[in-house]
């Protein structure tokens, strides 16, 4: 699990999701003790095995150094809400932050946007501040629902999946979809995007588990850790 946190963190950094020392990835502990997550104070690109903690479902550090991250409740509650999920990611990707401020539906104008099958990306709007409590974490998990990722208004994004490859790539694809639409909107009115049927077909064709894994391992190769 420690290796998975290190790899997922480095992959997100390689994809441009780093924000100084903020942002984090968590992996469910297979023995049910909680989640493995990077210790506070380190950038995604700085994560090593020695900088990973095991944090209990009650937000207590069971292994590793230091206090738990103040936003560990994002991961504890997202993964608690759906036992099928094994990894979650939270970043402050700038395109996601910018897009969340617009209140504009995310359109499937690209393969990346088709990740949501033609539906708008879910949004968490209860607060733009830090997710410091189990209650806020649970509300975020509810907003995410069964979607691959969600935008946090005035904050960033959260993504989850059945493994680090899925969680990381869901975050990467959401940010890319936001960036593509921001670029198109800056040039004018968007006239062309997939209809619901094509978007659902592209979701299945472009983003099966195998393609998420392919993108993830590319990021690991670029980060020179795989």
Number of C-beta neighbours around residue 66 at 10 A: 12
pLDDT digits (tens, 9 = 90+) for 183-210: 999 999 999 999 999 999 999 999 999 9
**The predicted structure's pLDDT at residue 224:** 84
| The 87-91 sheet, strands edge to edge | 61-63, 52-56, 34-38, 24-28, 87-91, 156-161, 149-152, 123-124
Task: Enter the tokens of residue 197.
Answer: 């049927």
pLDDT digits (tens, 9 = 90+) for 26-43: 999 999 999 999 999 999
- Tokens 């992996």 sit at which residue? 27
Query: Residue 32 gets which letter from DSSP?
Result: S
pLDDT at residue 162 above 70? yes
| Cβ atoms 7, 25 nearer than 8 A | no
| Cβ atoms 17, 94 nearer than 8 A | no
| Cβ atoms 53, 61 nearer than 8 A | yes
pLDDT digits (tens, 9 = 90+) for 74-128: 999 999 999 999 999 999 999 999 999 998 999 999 999 999 999 999 999 999 9
HEC letters along 113-141: HHHHCCCCCCEECCCCCCCCCHHHHHHHH
pLDDT at residue 135 above 60? yes
Query: Residue 205 gets which letter from DSSP?
Result: H
Kindly report the average pLDDT of the chain as a whole number: 97
Q: Rounded distance, CA 61 to CA 215, Å?
A: 32
Number of C-beta neighbours around residue 40 at 10 A: 17
pLDDT digits (tens, 9 = 90+) for 141-157: 999 999 999 999 999 99
| Cβ atoms 94, 48 nearer than 8 A | no
Average pLDDT over residues 172-177: 98
pLDDT at residue 20 above 70? yes
**The predicted structure's pLDDT at residue 177:** 98
Q: Rounded distance, CA 46 to CA 175, Å?
A: 21
Number of C-beta neighbours around residue 135 at 10 A: 12
pLDDT at residue 219 above 70? yes
CA distance readout (Å), 92 to 22, 83, 95, 174, 183: 8, 25, 9, 12, 19
pLDDT at residue 225 above 70? no
Higher pLDDT, 58 or 226: 58
Residue among 162, 161, 163 at smallest CA distance from 148: 161
pLDDT at residue 171 above 90? yes
**CATH classification (class only), 2-217:** alpha beta
């Amino acid at each position: 699990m420690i290796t998975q946190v290190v790899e997922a963190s480095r992959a997100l950094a390689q994809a441009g999701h780093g924000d100084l020392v903020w942002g984090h990835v968590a992996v469910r502990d297979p023995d049910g003790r909680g989640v493995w997550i990077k210790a506070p104070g380190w950038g995604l690109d700085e994560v090593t095995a020695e900088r990973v903690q095991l944090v209990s479902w009650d937000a207590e550090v069971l292994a590793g150094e230091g206090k738990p991250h103040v936003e560990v409740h994002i991961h504890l509650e997202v993964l608690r809400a759906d036992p099928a999920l094994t990894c979650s990611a939270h970043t402050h990707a700038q395109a996601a932050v910018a897009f969340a401020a617009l209140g504009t539906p995310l359109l499937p104008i690209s393969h990346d946007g088709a990740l949501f099958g033609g539906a708008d990306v879910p949004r968490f709007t209860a607060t733009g501040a830090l997710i410091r409590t189990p209650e806020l974490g649970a509300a975020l998990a509810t907003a995410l629902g069964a979607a691959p990722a969600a935008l946090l208004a005035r904050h960033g994004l959260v993504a989850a999946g059945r493994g680090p490859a899925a969680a990381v790539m869901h975050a990467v694809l959401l940010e890319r979809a936001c960036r593509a639409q921001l670029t198109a909107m800056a040039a004018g009115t968007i006239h062309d995007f997939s209809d619901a049927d094509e978007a659902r077909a592209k979701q299945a064709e472009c983003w099966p588990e195998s393609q998420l894994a392919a993108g993830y391992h590319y990021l690991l190769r670029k980060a020179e850790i795989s």
